[in-house]
Amino acid sequence: MIRMEKVLYAAFEAVPFIKSGGLADVAFSLPRELRKLGVDIRVVLPKYSQIPQEFKEEMTFFKSFEVKVGWRNQYCGIEYLEYRGIPFYFIDNEYYFKRDGAYSSYYDDGERYSFFCRAILEMIGHLNLKTDIIHCNDWHTGMISPLLKAHYSHYGDIKTIFTIHNLRYQGVFPREILGDLLNLGMEYYHSDALEFHGGVSFLKGGIKYSDIVTTVSKTYAQEIQYEYYGEKLEGLIRSRREDLYGIVNGIDYDLYNPSRDKHIFLEYDVNSFENKQENKIGLQRLLNLPQRKDVPLIGMVSRLAHMKGLDLLLHIFDELLNEDIQMVILGTGEPYFESRLRDYSHRYKDKISTQILFDESLAHKIYAASDMFLMPSKFEPCGLSQLIALRYGALPIVRETGGLKDTVISYNEYTNEGNGFSFTNYNAHDMLFTIKRALRFYEDNVLWRKIVSNAMEGNYSWKKSAEIYKELYKKSKSLKRNI
């Protein structure tokens, strides 16, 4: 009988409990797919006060113990809940996690997540939790690997895998945290260890000390080895290139399925394309736009930030809005972009609706109603929005970077291959040219439906990527690293 690896999946967020970004979706969907493949994977995350009460009432208290955080001994409670077949453990400490805005930048984030990393390692011993691999995600879990090697050798040969979801967010804190919070000596404070430009980087800890490093697309795995995308860690990442894997994210096919989506106005699939047009009319009516099936509708569901390419859009917005189009934008972000987009919505009331909020139900409606979906990102490690758009037949218009390059194939009119449209340079007029190219194809109903079919018939589920992770878990057990 083949013994399956026992994996503890550590993340700072996971749906349906708490969400700020794409990691929350991954931390639910990937473990669920891996369990279907027979992997004994369990998820651990903080017990934030914002977790809905209905879930808190279902949690079972397992055990409490003290966690050493520098000279402090802090309370840690472990609570448990099985949700849709996935075992979830919650690290409870009200001093660190009972706060408004779980994702606000607090003055003591270094201490909060030092506790979180150490508590996960202590939990393994106190619960006698058989663990072969700890799968860590982003900087919040970056100190698990160095702490495991420094303080928990008695656990045996537990391997660690570290996934970079976005290299820009690194968790850098003053060097004093080494002793004051992590109980690590100054031998860890040098350029070939945890030191990072005068501070200590949690993200660097995860990259340096984990047995395997992954990131969320093949292209991003290549990009971050060079200065433009490397966020000053490109040298370290190049040194780990033999252990670096780019594995594209997937989407949850139960959650994002236009044929069974209760959020949208009318369910549809690739064989009922006319129902998608009814979703356009429904969204136009909801947002007080002129109700026209024939007008191409461009959607955006995005954080309103520079990295998402909003500056490109603003640069050519007037010229774009002179076209016979409508546009719907949903998201929140930097005040400058929020203000400018509100201004455009006021000036072009019949052409653009900007919704400065996050509304999951409205997001689904936008995917279902849109003919095209714009993602002109400056960089995009993976991106989930383009995958959802493809699933809903909203053809992505993207810049060729990271996961966008890996998942969106620009339509080729000579071979009839492709599922969207793309441009290479981070240039506003290159983007405008590509949008106009898509608008030109939209005028040919037969051709447009062919490209939409290409998009909707693609496979964007987690199945293939989960199989790769399963193989990596097996491979990690045979690795020997001397750090």
- What are the two backbone dihedrals, phi and then psi, of residue 151, each rounded to the nearest 5 degrees? -120, -10
| 414, 420, 422, 428 alpha-carbon torsion, rounded to 10° | 120
Question: 78, 89, 76: which is closest to 31 by C-alpha?
Answer: 89
| Rounded CA separation 242/269 (Å) | 42
Tokens for 198, please give them.
């005068």
Collapsed DSSP state (helix, strand, coil) of residue 313: helix
Collapsed DSSP state (helix, strand, coil) of residue 55: helix
Q: What residue type is 460 in one-letter code?
A: Y
| pLDDT tens for each residue of 230-263 | 999 999 999 999 999 999 999 999 999 999 999 9
Residue 140 in this model has a pLDDT that exceeds 60: yes
| Rounded CA separation 240/225 (Å) | 10
| 109, 110, 113, 118 alpha-carbon torsion, rounded to 10° | -150
Residue 21 in this model has a pLDDT that exceeds 90: no
Residue 312 in this model has a pLDDT that exceeds 50: yes
- What are the two backbone dihedrals, phi and then psi, of residue 142, each rounded to the nearest 5 degrees? -65, -25
- What are the two backbone dihedrals, phi and then psi, of residue 410, each rounded to the nearest 5 degrees? -65, 135
Instruction: Count the residues in the chain.
Output: 483
Which pLDDT score, from 0 to 100, does residue 2 have?
A: 55
| Rounded CA separation 85/106 (Å) | 34
In this prediction, residues 155-164 reach a mean pLDDT of 96
In this prediction, residues 450-478 reach a mean pLDDT of 95
| pLDDT tens for each residue of 202-233 | 999 999 999 999 999 999 999 999 999 999 99
Domains of the chain and CATH, by start: 6-250+463-476 (3.40.50.2000), 273-456 (3.40.50.2000)
Which pLDDT score, from 0 to 100, does residue 106 have?
A: 78
Question: 209, 100, 207, 88: which is closest to 148 by C-alpha?
Answer: 209
In this prediction, residues 336-342 reach a mean pLDDT of 97
In this prediction, residues 108-123 reach a mean pLDDT of 97
Q: Confidence class of residue 1 from pLDDT cuts 50, 70 and 90? A: very low
154, 159, 467, 470 from 33: Cα distances, Å = 31, 21, 9, 10
In this prediction, residues 383-398 reach a mean pLDDT of 97
- The burial of 84, by beta-carbon neighbours within 10 Å (0-12 exposed, 13-18 middle, 19 or more buried), is given as exposed
Which pLDDT score, from 0 to 100, does residue 29 have?
A: 96
